[in-house]
Structure 1
Amino acid sequence: MDQRLQRNQVPTEKTWNLVDLFQTRDDFLAELDDLLKMADQLANEKGKLLTNGPSLFHALEEYFDFSARLWRLSAYVSLKQSADSSDPENQADAARVDAASAQIETTLSFFEDEFMDLDEERLNALERETTELAEYRPYFTKLFALKPYRLHPEAEKTIKALSEVLDAPYTIYARSKLADMQFLPVKDGNGKTLPMSFTLYENSYASTQDTELRRKAYDSFTKTLDAYKNTFASVYAAEVAKTVAIAKLRGYRTATEYLLQRQQVSETMYNHQLDIIYKELAPHMQRYAELKRQALGLDRMTYADLLAPIDSTGPQTTFEESKAAILEALKIMGPEYHAIIEEGLNSRWVDYGDNIGKSTGGFCSSPYGIHSYILMTWTGDIRNILTLAHELGHAGHLMLAQKYQKMANYRPSLFFIEAPSTINELILAQYLKKNATSDELKRSVTERLLSTYYHNFVTHLLEGVYQRKVFRLAETGEALTASKLTELFNETLAGFWGDAVQLEDRDGLTWMRQPHYYSGLYSYTYSAGLTVATAVAGQITEEGQPAVDRWLSVLKEGGRLTPQKLIEKAHVDILNPVTIRRAVAYVGTLVDDMQAAAIQ
């Protein structure tokens, strides 16, 4: 039986302040009603958007202002769901907004249709009439790139009308995972019975040094995953089939081409990340696995043991202690950036308590027109401070982008999105090591920094390699059954870990653990972000303020530039495989440091 708190039992200071979005639920419902009415009013502008420069500029301003309001509405119900997906009211509100969003997007689909009717020559002429239109040039550049794949307006309208249905795979996955899954209690090494949940396993038991608890928790975890595998396989297969079908309808060669175009990423950039890291990081991680096996005194290294820390005396940290360290470490980023982080830590942007129904992992939601919201679960391990710094990196980035860019140019490509978050982890780790009062603490920080690379270069990278296999298989028409998906993930694990880890069939059920597969080609972008972050962190160490200023100027661009251009502005050559290899080599030096510490 789950002994965790109900949502209403969590101390207020550990929860985020959704009042900043809507004072009351009635206010939220009133906004929903107002947006539905406004959408009908905006529909009267159909056919009038391109009359002249001023009318186009007015239409763009009105469209994106409305879109920002709808985004904040959707964020409100999504955040409530993430905090407690077991609450029927939260479920009902989310369903209500999904339905309303589908209706609104259908009603207003003509906006993009008419914008698409423009060409470069006509847009240039309208810009000469109204110079403010130049601010929307990056938006039109992206829009025009999609023109060859645009369907008939009625077909586009139909797809938008079906958005609630097309998004159902993720909704079913999330609700099943967070509200329905039940796990058998587990016992620790002292025989004490402990509650078990998805969140407890991911955030605590998987990384405990108590081998008996860690392995028994994995038994309980995988037993429940196994019970849901056919349902989850059907849901994921539906997600993949949807993506493949839409890609074909639009005229793309493959679903991969379709998804990468929306990231403004070439297949070369995509494949380099997967192929180079998968092949060249493996020897370093195999060394690390063997080092862990020896340090922990294990007879064999299993998949359940990979996250166990070597350091048995890893320091514990409170949220308040972590706030102070993060604020001190990030002073290097300058007063404007620092002020954002300080406000986030002191104004309840962060939800860090634990309760039944709360989403696993962590994220930062930054709807345009309001501050960021961060979700994580605090366990006290020093790893938490790096997670917090990571999510604050998203907040700092997107709050700067919001300040300096219109909503149309606000969000950068997924390929870049993890760079500003992971660089904060690297800056904080350097600060913690520099100020460590003992060799033991330095080693502990090094190990936690290695966990950053493990998370991005192993966990999510392997997801990306696996996802590439899934899409290639789906393109052939082969059925994505539970057994096939599990087989593919086991194959991916075996190719990376070799003989360093004794894998079992159930380890392949790992494909069920992450929600990233329902967000297009998202998983691999963690490695891209950390590759860029590693290079920029090195620049900051070597150059100091000039590198910081350059990086801040990149963050302020938001999504105005392509990811390649953003990264080039940071003086990093992402097209050069050497850039990726240097990041992999840096991971090797961290493993070297851990091995040297073990010998001493």
Structure 2
Amino acid sequence: MNQVPKRSETAPEHRWKLSDLFEDQAAWDKEYAEAKKQMKEVAAFEGKLADPNQLKACFELEDELSLHVERLYVYANMKHHEDTAESEFMALSDKSKKLSVETGEALSFITPEVLSLTDEELEAFINNQELAKFRHTLEEMRRQKAHILSKGEEALLAQVGNISQAPGTIFSLLNNADLKFPKVKDEKGEEIELTQGRYIQFLESKDREVRKAAFTAMYETYGKLKNTIAATLSANVTKNVFYANARKYPSTLEMSLYGDNIPKDVYVNLINTIHNYLPLMHRYMELRKKLLKVDELHMYDLFAPLVDEFKMDITFDQAKATISESLKPLGEDYLNVLQQGFTDGWIDTYENEGKRSGAYSWGAFGTHPYVLLNHKDNLNSMFTLTHEMGHALHSYYSDGNQDYRDAQYTIFLAEVASTLNEALLMDYMLKKSTDPKEKMYLLTYYADQFRTTVFRQTMFAEFEKIIHEQAEQGVSLTPQELSKIYYDLNKHYYGEGMVIDKDIEMEWARIPHFYTSFYVYKYATGFSAATSFSKQILEEGAPAVERYLGFLKSGGSDYSINILKKAGVDMSTPEPIEQAMSVFEELISQMEQLTK
């Protein structure tokens, strides 16, 4: 069936049950009115938060109001995602977004007012039994206090806010709207316009000339704008240095890590540990060269398929059954919740006309999580399903074991549960596979995840660290300087065994994440933590599962680094990354065996 069905034509059992969140529109409207009423009530607390009883009542009202707004927002937007062309839910989505902004404004006095208390008063609140439920919030406010400025200075910084977004906005418009790439000949010799979206498709071509042409065209285009893009990236770094100085942080890196309370050691340790394991990456590059049967391995060969596409037709029911089998190591309780997710209206399975693309897990506290998919009957979709169910079960356990305020986990932790599910699925499939072609296909799929998620993101993280340190020392970030730093890093990471093409020195110019500074390291730490968990679970069994379930149940009740540490993954040490690297080494060894 080539025609994408309308929403009304999809089977009810493949649609999520949003009625578990709101029975109907009338129920939504009623809760919306309640939220509007509570928003007005919040103002009565302004100026009274030095009284512990008033503070407690204010926090309780803040929680009630925030939960109403979350529920309204999630429902309205998920209804909108079912069919984005449906005007009724487009309007409802807008209405919920406005409510969210208004609520933020109504609650905005709380933090500054609490922070205006003396250290002694704050300390007394933290130790007050009546406020025990809010201890983590108060400790977090106290921690932030050192970097909050006077009222006038904060007002001034708030006005700078719009200007500070300029580098990211300019880059985004340049990169997504204004940049035009030349045409490239495909495998059939037809000229096709190169775009950001088509670039990876070209790099995955079996025809080496197609890969090379796309690679050269991409970086020559950026090269023509190198002065403009260097100025934009440099402005973003200058902005970070300005904020770090204004808020009295020792460095831009420490400012960026402060929000999640991540020690600088975690960042530095990731880079240093990966440096120790670069010989593994170089070994993988040698293997890639051998499998591609080329005399020289070039940068444009990194995404070329190592084995013929192994077509795996996997229906949704087969995917669910395989995932259930692969997650058996996580125990009975986890499997029961997973089954509930599969059968009780958590999942919106197939594509329909107007449905939002991609996949996600979302929901509101107090109701089960939801998962949006656009399922195709293939391997990728099966991995997407187990990934999103990992997120969903993390939320389920977190919500079931924490108060509303402490249930939300940080971005630093967010990808651990989803990636762990993928690791267990991959382990199960590799052990079960008897076909050498299938096995090789799976091994290359997994090995490339290590290359792109751990090594490549760590290289990006190191690049960001270097350019910020240069700026802090007064070095000018010219296009030549940026290109040299980037080229040298590629040489270091990929090794002498391959040709580091000169064009790659311009790659820094096309990475949007560099405008959300010091973010990408979380991909590498999340992947490493998940791989470490999976290794412990498969080797130790029950005790490791117990620790892992404890991690899922912790939500955001403590700082991320502590939550992981309690569960047996200490990201301030090299151990989790070393465990992940031992899994990577095992993959390479298996691939080498199969190519003998």
Of 531-540 and 26-35, the range deviating more from structure 2: 26-35
Distance 1:228 1:330, change over 3 A: farther
Any stretches of 5+ residues in structure 1 without a counterpart?
none
5 Å-filtered alignment, 1:133-144, equals: 133-144=131-142
Is the Cα contact below 8 Å between 2:15 and 2:347 reproduced in 1?
yes
Q: The residue matched to 2:451 in structure 1 has which SS?
A: helix
Distance 1:79 1:313, change over 3 A: same
Is 1:189 the counterpart of 2:168 in the alignment? no
Distance 1:362 1:184, change over 3 A: farther
Equivalent in the alignment of 1:145: 143
Distance 1:224 1:465, change over 3 A: same
Q: The residue matched to 1:530 in structure 2 has which SS?
A: helix
Post-superposition offset of 1:375: 7.6
Is 1:570 the counterpart of 2:573 in the alignment? no
Is 1:536 the counterpart of 2:533 in the alignment? yes
Structure 1 residue corresponding to 2:592, chosen from 581, 588, 595: 595
| Partner Cα separation in structure 2 for residue 319 and residue 123 of structure 1 | 57
| Partner Cα separation in structure 2 for residue 381 and residue 193 of structure 1 | 30
Equivalent in the alignment of 2:112: 113
One-letter code aligned to 1:304: Y
| Partner Cα separation in structure 2 for residue 137 and residue 102 of structure 1 | 26
Distance 1:372 1:147, change over 3 A: same
Is 1:441 the counterpart of 2:434 in the alignment? no
Equivalent in the alignment of 1:524: 521
Equivalent in the alignment of 2:402: 405
Is 1:303 the counterpart of 2:302 in the alignment? no
Of 396-405 and 159-168, the range deviating more from structure 2: 159-168
| Partner Cα separation in structure 1 for residue 463 and residue 370 of structure 2 | 30
| Partner Cα separation in structure 2 for residue 83 and residue 233 of structure 1 | 41
Is the Cα contact below 8 Å between 2:269 and 2:574 reproduced in 1?
yes
Any stretches of 5+ residues in structure 2 without a counterpart?
none
| Partner Cα separation in structure 1 for residue 196 and residue 302 of structure 2 | 18
Post-superposition offset of 1:271: 0.3
Equivalent in the alignment of 1:586: 583
Of 533-542 and 380-389, the range deviating more from structure 2: 380-389
Equivalent in the alignment of 1:496: 493
One-letter code aligned to 2:301: D
Distance 1:161 1:557, change over 3 A: farther
Structure 2 residue corresponding to 1:272, chosen from 258, 269, 273: 269
Is the Cα contact below 8 Å between 1:350 and 1:374 reproduced in 2?
yes
CA deviation digits over 1:138-158, x for unaligned, max 9? 222222111111112344355
Distance 1:255 1:33, change over 3 A: farther
5 Å-filtered alignment, 1:386-425, equals: 386-425=383-422
One-letter code aligned to 2:327: L
5 Å-filtered alignment, 1:179-218, equals: 183=181, 186-191=184-189, 197-202=195-200, 204-218=201-215
Equivalent in the alignment of 1:249: 246
Is the Cα contact below 8 Å between 2:386 and 2:421 reproduced in 1?
yes
One-letter code aligned to 1:290: E
One-letter code aligned to 1:570: A
Is 1:294 the counterpart of 2:290 in the alignment? yes
5 Å-filtered alignment, 1:306-321, equals: 306-318=302-314, 320=316, 321=318
Equivalent in the alignment of 1:49: 49
| Partner Cα separation in structure 1 for residue 126 and residue 361 of structure 2 | 36
One-letter code aligned to 1:295: L
TM-score normalised by L of structure 2: 0.81
Post-superposition offset of 1:516: 3.3
CA deviation digits over 1:285-338, x for unaligned, max 9? 112112112211224212221122322143334562434422332243345544
Q: The residue matched to 2:500 in structure 1 has which SS?
A: coil
Is the Cα contact below 8 Å between 1:10 and 1:355 reproduced in 2?
no
Post-superposition offset of 1:27: 11
| Partner Cα separation in structure 2 for residue 30 and residue 484 of structure 1 | 59
Distance 1:508 1:244, change over 3 A: same
Is the Cα contact below 8 Å between 1:102 and 1:164 reproduced in 2?
no
Q: The residue matched to 1:556 in structure 2 has which SS?
A: helix
Equivalent in the alignment of 2:278: 282
Is the Cα contact below 8 Å between 1:344 and 1:350 reproduced in 2?
no
Distance 1:479 1:381, change over 3 A: farther
Q: The residue matched to 2:296 in structure 1 has which SS?
A: coil
Name the Cα RMSD after superposition.
Answer: 4.7
Distance 1:22 1:548, change over 3 A: same
Distance 1:46 1:456, change over 3 A: same
| Partner Cα separation in structure 1 for residue 594 and residue 473 of structure 2 | 50
5 Å-filtered alignment, 1:10-25, equals: none
Is the Cα contact below 8 Å between 1:225 and 1:512 reproduced in 2?
yes
Is the Cα contact below 8 Å between 2:122 and 2:142 reproduced in 1?
no
Equivalent in the alignment of 2:451: 454
Number of matched pairs: 591
One-letter code aligned to 2:585: G
Distance 1:164 1:379, change over 3 A: farther
Q: The residue matched to 1:263 in structure 2 has which SS?
A: coil
Is the Cα contact below 8 Å between 1:106 and 1:161 reproduced in 2?
no
| Partner Cα separation in structure 2 for residue 365 and residue 470 of structure 1 | 36
| Partner Cα separation in structure 2 for residue 120 and residue 166 of structure 1 | 31
Of 99-108 and 493-502, the range deviating more from structure 2: 99-108
| Partner Cα separation in structure 2 for residue 581 and residue 200 of structure 1 | 35
| Partner Cα separation in structure 2 for residue 563 and residue 247 of structure 1 | 22
Distance 1:273 1:111, change over 3 A: same
| Partner Cα separation in structure 1 for residue 33 and residue 494 of structure 2 | 54
| Partner Cα separation in structure 2 for residue 227 and residue 357 of structure 1 | 38
Distance 1:126 1:469, change over 3 A: closer
| Partner Cα separation in structure 2 for residue 236 and residue 83 of structure 1 | 37
5 Å-filtered alignment, 1:32-47, equals: 39=39, 42-47=42-47
Give the fraction of aligned pairs with identical amino acids, expressed as a percent.
Answer: 26
Q: The residue matched to 1:47 in structure 2 has which SS?
A: coil
Is the Cα contact below 8 Å between 1:392 and 1:421 reproduced in 2?
yes
Q: The residue matched to 1:149 in structure 2 has which SS?
A: coil
Equivalent in the alignment of 2:553: 556
Is the Cα contact below 8 Å between 1:400 and 1:556 reproduced in 2?
yes
Distance 1:349 1:436, change over 3 A: same
TM-score normalised by L of structure 1: 0.80
One-letter code aligned to 2:538: T
Of 380-389 and 397-406, the range deviating more from structure 2: 380-389
Of 294-303 and 33-42, the range deviating more from structure 2: 33-42
Structure 2 residue corresponding to 1:545, chosen from 526, 542, 546: 542
Q: The residue matched to 1:418 in structure 2 has which SS?
A: helix
| Partner Cα separation in structure 2 for residue 304 and residue 379 of structure 1 | 29
| Partner Cα separation in structure 1 for residue 340 and residue 220 of structure 2 | 43
